[in-house]
Amino acid sequence: MSQKKTIGIVAGLNRRAAMEVKTELLSLGDDDLSIVMTEDNFKIDPDPVFAVSDRKIFIFNEAELLAEMGVDLILVPDFKCGAYIHEIQREIQTPILDMKQALMSQMGEKVPTMGVLDAANARGCASGACDLSKQMKMIFASEEDQKQLDALREKIRAQGPSEDTVKALSQICHHLMQKGAEVIVPNCTQFALNTAELQKLGLPVMDVFEVFAKAALTHSTQKLPKPFKLGLIGGLGPAATVDLYDKIVKATPAKNDQEHFKVVIEQNPQIDDRTACLLNGGPDPTIAMYNCAKRLQRDGCDYIIIPCNTAHAFLPRMIRHLNVPFIDMQQTMLDEIKAKFGDNARVGLMATSGTIATGIYSKKAEKMGMKMYTPDEDHQQSVMKAIYGPKGAKAGYTTGECYDDLYRGAEYLVKTYDCNVLILGCTELPLIFHETDDFEVAGKKVAIVDPTATLARKCVQIAQATIKERGVR
């Protein structure tokens, strides 16, 4: 049993032409074919400044709607869009077929000399850019006939085909044949609506709607590769979000803008405080974070990251309801520490009290056989002050009191536990200390590890591998 195929038609550019295409598709007698047509009609702005962009945006909106409906192939019965349909296709994974592509696909080895019926003001968009074959000889109407074609196009658009339009078009067809045209191609859907009547007069006019329908039935319905897209739940806090994105940009080996990968940031600073929830029974941030993740999922993100250590305690509640994986910041960083320092790592953790209480670092470190230490109560208060204090990182400070408070915590860990690796386990802390292998504290050189920097490197690694596999950015 063959699989049912659904074809979507962008009908609003020329509804009569769309109906002709639908009729041709149905006449081909494919019982496994389903056809969907869009309902909105394109409104032409008389201002030429917006003419092309309005048309592009209309086609994109309609194509996007059809893609969301789950069609297998999108048809655009329009000649003008041939010059820019690739711009739309680049943003949509469902294959799109336009009139130009259809004609190209149906051309055999022997291409006849073609007389082209098109309007003068459409030449640049359609026939002029429509290099159907390098072997093809194309004959265009005279300047006088072009002016007449312009007027006919507007008349047909407003009133539909008539005896008068058929008569006028037939005369122009004869002129093209006198110049050597073997077949006449209506390179405008308005003219194509007159095909049947012109054929009755014995004129060799190509039925472009029939050609389009036949091409649609054989055209591939395989989805195009999806560009890699990273989702970022931001606002926890805002400065940390900016910091992480900056690190992703800097970690990407790009020579120009286009060599970076897509990132969607769902910035919500109103998400309730994660530490307050974990330590004091404050408002639960789960639903707010889950809503952000759902938005990123709907936007087609391949992975989601959160530049907030404490927020990772809530991930197990969310991931079981999502289809998009998270890149675990803590695990990524611990893996990097393990690879770099091996069993010699004595790790000190500077983080919020909520992060420490959840064990989201210590439990993972324990599974890896890694020793991890935290400040005592007094020095933990210093770390919390560096984060939440009046002159702490969340208040926008990165030097002065917050630096001194954080240094006290670091000094305690090095002196007390001989730590040689210090984790900046709150995404605000890398705004105060910077990642380095030789940070001097208590007379020793220790490594400062920034989880957001390791996360950025991991994101770039995954993005590059995915882009290479899919062959598209």
Q: pLDDT tens, 32-45?
A: 899 999 999 998 88
Query: Where does the pLDDT of residue 365 fall: very low under 50, low under 70, confident under 90, or very high at 90 and above?
Result: very high
Instruction: Evaluate whether 38 touches 9 at the Cβ level (below 8 Å).
Output: yes
- Mean pLDDT of all residues in 230-248: 94
SS3 content of the chain, % helix, strand, coil (to 5): 50, 15, 35
Does the annotation mark 173 as catalytic? Answer: no
Instruction: Evaluate whether 324 touches 304 at the Cβ level (below 8 Å).
Output: yes
Pick from 370, 373, 323: nearest CA to 351 = 373
Measured CA to CA, the distance from residue 412 to residue 379 in angstroms comes to: 7
Which residue is catalytic, options 130, 173, 292, 308? 308
Q: What is the CA radius of gyration of the chain?
A: 32
Measured CA to CA, the distance from residue 346 to residue 146 in angstroms comes to: 82
* % of residues, the chain, pLDDT over 90: 83
Question: What pLDDT is attached to residue 128?
Answer: 39
Question: What pLDDT is attached to residue 330?
Answer: 93
CATH number of 329-455: 3.40.50.1860
CA 60, 62, 63, 69: dihedral to nearest 10 degrees?
Answer: 140
Query: Where does the pLDDT of residue 205 fall: very low under 50, low under 70, confident under 90, or very high at 90 and above?
Result: very high
Helix (H) or strand (E) holding 364: helix 362-367
pLDDT tens-digit readout, 333-349: 999 999 999 999 999 99
- Mean pLDDT of all residues in 179-196: 94
pTM of the prediction?
0.84
- Mean pLDDT of all residues in 444-453: 96
> Based on the number of CB atoms within 10 Å of its own CB, is 41 exposed (0-12), middle (13-18) or buried (19 or more)?
exposed
Question: What pLDDT is attached to residue 228?
Answer: 97
Which residue is catalytic, options 81, 130, 301, 426? 426
- Mean pLDDT of all residues in 23-52: 89
Position 233 pLDDT exceeds 60: yes
SS3 372: strand
In CATH, what class is 5-218?
alpha beta
Cross-strand bridge partners of residue 116: 140, 185
pLDDT tens-digit readout, 256-313: 999 999 999 999 999 999 989 988 999 999 999 999 999 999 999 999 999 998 899 9
Question: What pLDDT is attached to residue 103?
Answer: 86
Q: What is the mean pLDDT of the chain?
A: 92
Question: What pLDDT is attached to residue 362?
Answer: 93
Q: Which residue has the higher pLDDT, 122 or 129?
A: 122
Measured CA to CA, the distance from residue 454 to residue 409 in angstroms comes to: 22
The structural domains of the chain, with segments of one domain joined by +, span: 5-218, 229-326, 329-455
Cross-strand bridge partners of residue 282: none
CA 300, 38, 18, 164: dihedral to nearest 10 degrees?
Answer: -130
Instruction: Evaluate whether 283 touches 277 at the Cβ level (below 8 Å).
Output: yes
Query: Which residues fall within 8 angstroms of residue 182, CB to CB, at 6 or more apart?
Result: 112, 113, 114, 115, 204
Query: Which residues fall within 8 angstroms of residue 49, CB to CB, at 6 or more apart?
Result: none
- Mean pLDDT of all residues in 403-420: 97
Amino acid identity, position 306: I
Question: What pLDDT is attached to residue 135?
Answer: 54
Q: Which residue has the higher pLDDT, 443 or 1?
A: 443
Position 29 pLDDT exceeds 80: no
- Mean pLDDT of all residues in 446-472: 96
Amino acid identity, position 393: A
- Mean pLDDT of all residues in 209-231: 95
Question: What pLDDT is attached to residue 136?
Answer: 67
* % of residues, the chain, pLDDT over 70: 95
Helix (H) or strand (E) holding 451: helix 451-470
Considering Cα of 311, then 316, then 322, then 327, what sign does the dihedral take? positive
- Count of residues in the chain: 473
Does the annotation mark 426 as catalytic? Answer: yes
CATH number of 229-326: 3.40.50.1860
Same fold, 229-326 and 329-455: yes
Query: Which residues fall within 8 angstroms of residue 47, CB to CB, at 6 or more apart?
Result: none
* Angular region, 404: left φ>0, alpha ψ -120 to 50, beta rest: alpha
Measured CA to CA, the distance from residue 424 to residue 309 in angstroms comes to: 10
294, two tokens: 């759902």
Question: What pLDDT is attached to residue 47?
Answer: 85
Measured CA to CA, the distance from residue 435 to residue 450 in angstroms comes to: 5
- Mean pLDDT of all residues in 65-80: 96
Measured CA to CA, the distance from residue 224 to residue 65 in angstroms comes to: 17
